[in-house]
Structure 1
Amino acid sequence: MASRRTLKAAQAVREVVSMAILADLKDPRNEGVTVTYVEVSADMRLAKVHVSVMGDESHQKLCLHGLQSAAGYLQQKVAKRIDTRYTPRIQFLLDMGVKKSIAIARLLGDVLPDDVSPNEALAADASAEDPSAEIDSSSDLAGDVAPPDDSPATDSHAIDSQETNAQDRESSSGR
């Protein structure tokens, strides 16, 4: 399990690199790049930046080459943001998760009948696995609906509990 320090460093690297790709890099090879996630090694010397690139395989390779050539500049931006003994060396890796999910959705669209969308099929599958996902209209929870924003809350239980909490705070501070 990653430590809190490495998770914070990974978050900082992700923010800096994604903003720099979006705003600072003028290389046309780096169009259509999304930073999906970052892994930082435990010794903070290596940061694996996973990116998703829209386009065919040749465009993806070209984009990775462009990102790797800008790695020194991006590493310098990261060094200004995080205060560590070593600045992580940035390594770019292609994340195929987005492309695989699009391909799966396309396959589901081909297999399913025309009247059911892939999103509806996935939602139905999720609710079949988790029976608590659906709320039965006859249950007690179905009637508990929050009042609209323009009407005042008239739930006496909520008002009573607020008064009780206020009284508890007053009595504990007086001791």
Structure 2
Amino acid sequence: MRKNSIKNIRINEEVMRELSNIIRGEIKDPRINPMTSVVAVEVAPDLKTAKAYISVLGDEKSQQDTIAGLRSAEGFIRRSLAKSVNLRNTPEIKFVLDQSIEYGIHMSKMIDEVTKDIKEKPDEEA
């Protein structure tokens, strides 16, 4: 796997920023959850394709509906991205559901439960 160049990192950040602005402000699809965020974007070095990792706060159905809504709006998103970001090629975007934030919240709750149990046990023994 090739190491990302500084240019590629800048392109990833710029596309991520513009993509989140487009999703938040321009798309009117009711399937897309208002609590949708773009976690990361990986643009290929040839600028032909990009993977956008999307995090949705909500249940499983809401997540699937949001991804379906984004996939149906791919053409609009790509056209808006072409207007706002000056690139040689506008990448074809593939949306991927990212559940790392949800997983982190779940692990944090589990850790809190364990630490709460540990704090309660010395009180019971005394």
Query: What TM-score results when the alignment is normalised by the length of structure 2?
Result: 0.84
| CA–CA distance in structure 2, aligned partners of residues 7 and 80 of structure 1 | 20
1:115-154 equivalence runs, <5 A: none
Query: Percent identical across equivalent pairs?
Result: 33
The corresponding residue for 2:62 is 59
Match of 1:107 among 105, 110, 113: 110
Displacement, 1:20? 1.0
How far the C-alpha of 1:6 sits from its partner, in A, is 1.6
Correspondences of 1:3-152 after superposition (within 5 Å): 3-31=5-33, 32-113=35-116
| Moved beyond 4 Å, runs of 4+ | none
Gaps of 5+ in 1: 117-175
Q: Which has the higher strand share?
A: 2
Structure 2 residues without counterparts, runs of 5 or longer: 120-126
Superposition pairs for residues 150-165 of structure 1, below 5 Å? Answer: none
Counterpart for residue 149 of structure 1: none
In structure 2, what is the Cα distance between the partners aligned to 1:36 and 1:75? 18
Whether the 8 Å CA contact 2:47–2:91 is kept in 1: the answer is yes
**Residues 89-145 of structure 1 deviation map (CA, whole Å, 9 limit, x = unaligned):** 0111111110110110111121112697xxxxxxxxxxxxxxxxxxxxxxxxxxxxx
Equivalents in 1 of 2:73, 2:11: separation in Å?
20
TM value normalised by structure 1: 0.62
- Length, aligned pairs only: 116
